[in-house]
Structure 1
Amino acid sequence: MSNYSIKDLEQLSGIKAHTLRIWEQRYNLLNPKRTDTNIRYYDDVDLKLILNVAMLNTNGIKISKIAAMSSNDISQEIIRLTDQSMDHTDQIQALTICMIEMDEDRFEKVLSTNILKLGFEETVLDVIYPFLSKIGVLWQTGAINPAQEHFISNLIRQKLIVAIDGQMGKSQGKTFMLFLPEGELHELSLLFSSYLIKKHGHKVIYLGQSTPQIDLISVYKIQQPDYLLTIITSSPTGDKVQDYVNMLGKEFSKSEIFISGLQALEQSLTIPSNIRLLTYAKEIKQVLLQMDHETV
């Protein structure tokens, strides 16, 4: 069980610490504990409650009414709101609650409902990607543990793989080779890129996580892809990122290479002429739409 300060609750819920203190004092909404040195802290139960309360309050339910509701009533109201609302913030909050509770059935229902109403692409871009960003905040504050992060990432990964399997390439399409650098394991964005590429009728050679340089070169010689795409989120880091980019530009000089990811975008890199940085998730879709236009 994790411990949270009131500032942690503020960051995770979006409710100001001052407001949380008023709710605590006026409505006995939270039940802070104290350490042996008399420092106040909150636990997982408090976090779950305040996430639910924040969602209800944002949707117009007065705090006095929420405070009088039972835990079961709050849960039922959250489910009702999630099912009816297509507001992206509400959906992200609902997914966050599912993750903290590790409620797979509810997570599947929320995600499936969004896909049905919004479509797969919009769900990924407008709900899942912001949700993954929120997971990063939760990780930094210690609000989730590795098991919770792996649990939710694997559920999303399964959805992406099913969506990819439903796409068929075209014989006249280009060939893309997708891979992550050696040591890089953050695969969700690469999987979504694979989905988009296949949806636009192109062939994907998917090498996936942690691809050694020697294997990358070997497959390239056999397949001779038109394009390469990689995402550098956590590995390599520092000066090694520039070295890696230089290697890609040199070894695969006959192909155009797309690179994205935190490590690539946060540094002032010297970019070889055959490499293009993609700065956000929707940009790969724009690249594909431009290709479609050029072939018409």
Structure 2
Amino acid sequence: MKTEGYSIKDLETLSGIKAHTIRIWEKRYDLLKPERTDTNIRYYTDNDLKRMLNVSLLVRNGYKISKVAGWEDEKIKGTVIDVAKNKKTEQSYVEQLLLHMVNFDNIGFQTLVNEIIEKFGIEEAMQGVFFGLFERIGTYWQVGSIFPAQEHYVSNIIRQKVIAAIDSLGLNNERDKSILFYLPDNELHELSLLFYSYLAAKSGYNVIYLGQFVPFADLEKMKSHIQIEYIFTAFISSINKEELEHYLANLKEVYQHQKVFITGWQVRELEPKLPRNFKAVKDYREFKRFIG
């Protein structure tokens, strides 16, 4: 959490409630009591943030702020739990997971992850809930409201679930075609790559998974060691458009006759010019159509 406290803009970003509305709730209902620095700047504590997250969840689920604002924290938390038991939309799952993360509720987080996978299956859970969760975590990163360890903790739990799903498929190669999955040597975030490798393995492809930080020289060597029909990579970490397009051009020189799939935040944001044999993947359903 932020040691210097949160601004009202931070609370707006994290809770989804407009700063103007938060101020009204403070004045009218005494919802929060911000503290002040030595220079008279208002700031909010970790407890304020948790209260705001809980209250915003209840308000979005039909509770009146005039009623909720007068409740003690324990009653608010208990009502949030009751709502969580009955309200099972994808968005509500994301909010519940975030609350477990913020409160360091390890058992609650893992139990809910298992419930989501059991309800939706790993594919729908990843696309409909877990990817949305990581988008929200990205927002938390922007305002410095989580420790790096929290993000790593959450990522590794989901990562373990995807690996377990991959292991459950066994080695049943039906199509005798290979897909090489890797991340460039500046990329750490492999969760989406793992998920797409699961989809390929489920469709019967021979999956060659190299993971993170793969030097370009290794990609060149791979070509002479194994027959590869498809390449899949992702770009999440910061990169400028020119650098990204240069990398893709170099990759095309190595794999001129293979189909290359790319995905990730930077691909969506920068919209780089793609070589003819490249395809930007928007979501998992689209990828399944390509390899189906």
> Do these two structures clear the TM 0.5 threshold for a shared fold by scoring above it?
yes
Please say if residues 182 and 212 of structure 1, whose CA atoms lie closer than 8 Å, have aligned partners that are also in contact: yes
Determine the structure 1 residue equivalent to 2:268. 265
Determine the structure 1 residue equivalent to 2:281. 278
SS of the aligned residue for 1:225 comes to: coil
Task: Choose 191-200 or 262-271, whichever is displaced more.
Answer: 262-271
Distance 2:238 2:127 in 1: 24
Q: Could you tell me how far 1:9 is from its partner in structure 2?
A: 0.9
Please say if residues 125 and 282 of structure 1, whose CA atoms lie closer than 8 Å, have aligned partners that are also in contact: no
Q: Could you tell me how far 1:114 is from its partner in structure 2?
A: 1.3
Please say if residues 116 and 125 of structure 2, whose CA atoms lie closer than 8 Å, have aligned partners that are also in contact: yes
Aligned Cα RMSD in Å?
1.8
Task: Give the letter for the 2:198 counterpart.
Answer: Y
Distance 1:236 1:219 in 2: 25
Please say if residues 259 and 276 of structure 1, whose CA atoms lie closer than 8 Å, have aligned partners that are also in contact: yes
Determine the structure 1 residue equivalent to 2:226. 223
Determine the structure 1 residue equivalent to 2:187. 184
- Relative to structure 1, the CA distance from residue 134 to residue 50 in structure 2 (aligned partners, 3 Å threshold; closer, same or farther) is same
What is the TM-score normalised by the length of structure 2? Answer: 0.92
Distance 2:221 2:42 in 1: 57
Distance 2:221 2:93 in 1: 43
Q: Could you tell me how far 1:240 is from its partner in structure 2?
A: 2.1
Determine the structure 1 residue equivalent to 2:32. 30
Distance 2:10 2:284 in 1: 28
Q: Could you tell me how far 1:73 is from its partner in structure 2?
A: 2.1
Distance 2:287 2:98 in 1: 27
The within-5 A match list for 1:180-219 is 180-219=183-222
Distance 1:42 1:282 in 2: 42
Distance 1:30 1:103 in 2: 23
Q: Could you tell me how far 1:160 is from its partner in structure 2?
A: 1.4
Q: Could you tell me how far 1:249 is from its partner in structure 2?
A: 0.8
Q: Could you tell me how far 1:76 is from its partner in structure 2?
A: 2.1
Distance 1:24 1:259 in 2: 47
Determine the structure 2 residue equivalent to 1:7. 9
Identity %: 43
Distance 2:169 2:66 in 1: 50
Task: Give the letter for the 1:253 counterpart.
Answer: Q
Distance 1:149 1:61 in 2: 30
Instruction: Report how many aligned residue pairs link the two structures.
Output: 289
- Selected match of 2:153 from 148, 151, 154: 151
Please say if residues 242 and 270 of structure 1, whose CA atoms lie closer than 8 Å, have aligned partners that are also in contact: yes
Distance 1:120 1:217 in 2: 33
Partner deviation per Cα, 1:81-100 (whole Å, 9 max, x = no partner) = 22222212211111111121
- Relative to structure 1, the CA distance from residue 97 to residue 280 in structure 2 (aligned partners, 3 Å threshold; closer, same or farther) is same
What is the TM-score normalised by the length of structure 1? Answer: 0.91
- Selected match of 2:246 from 243, 246, 252: 243
Task: Give the letter for the 1:101 counterpart.
Answer: N
The within-5 A match list for 1:116-135 is 116-135=118-137
Task: Choose 56-65 or 251-260, whichever is displaced more.
Answer: 56-65
Distance 2:52 2:122 in 1: 30
Please say if residues 35 and 41 of structure 1, whose CA atoms lie closer than 8 Å, have aligned partners that are also in contact: yes
Determine the structure 2 residue equivalent to 1:255. 258
Q: Could you tell me how far 1:254 is from its partner in structure 2?
A: 2.6
Task: Choose 200-209 or 70-79, whichever is displaced more.
Answer: 70-79
Partner deviation per Cα, 1:206-244 (whole Å, 9 max, x = no partner) = 000010112222233222111010001116544221221
Determine the structure 1 residue equivalent to 2:53. 51
Determine the structure 1 residue equivalent to 2:21. 19
- Relative to structure 1, the CA distance from residue 281 to residue 135 in structure 2 (aligned partners, 3 Å threshold; closer, same or farther) is farther
Please say if residues 102 and 151 of structure 1, whose CA atoms lie closer than 8 Å, have aligned partners that are also in contact: no
SS of the aligned residue for 1:223 comes to: coil
SS of the aligned residue for 1:195 comes to: helix
- Structure 1 stretches of 5 or more lacking a match? 292-296
Please say if residues 99 and 148 of structure 1, whose CA atoms lie closer than 8 Å, have aligned partners that are also in contact: yes
Partner deviation per Cα, 1:129-187 (whole Å, 9 max, x = no partner) = 11111111111111222122112111111111111111234333221110000111111
- Structure 2 stretches of 5 or more lacking a match? none
Determine the structure 2 residue equivalent to 1:78. 80
Please say if residues 181 and 210 of structure 2, whose CA atoms lie closer than 8 Å, have aligned partners that are also in contact: yes
Q: Could you tell me how far 1:255 is from its partner in structure 2?
A: 1.4
The within-5 A match list for 1:97-112 is 97-112=99-114
Task: Choose 246-255 or 175-184, whichever is displaced more.
Answer: 246-255
- Relative to structure 1, the CA distance from residue 20 to residue 118 in structure 2 (aligned partners, 3 Å threshold; closer, same or farther) is same
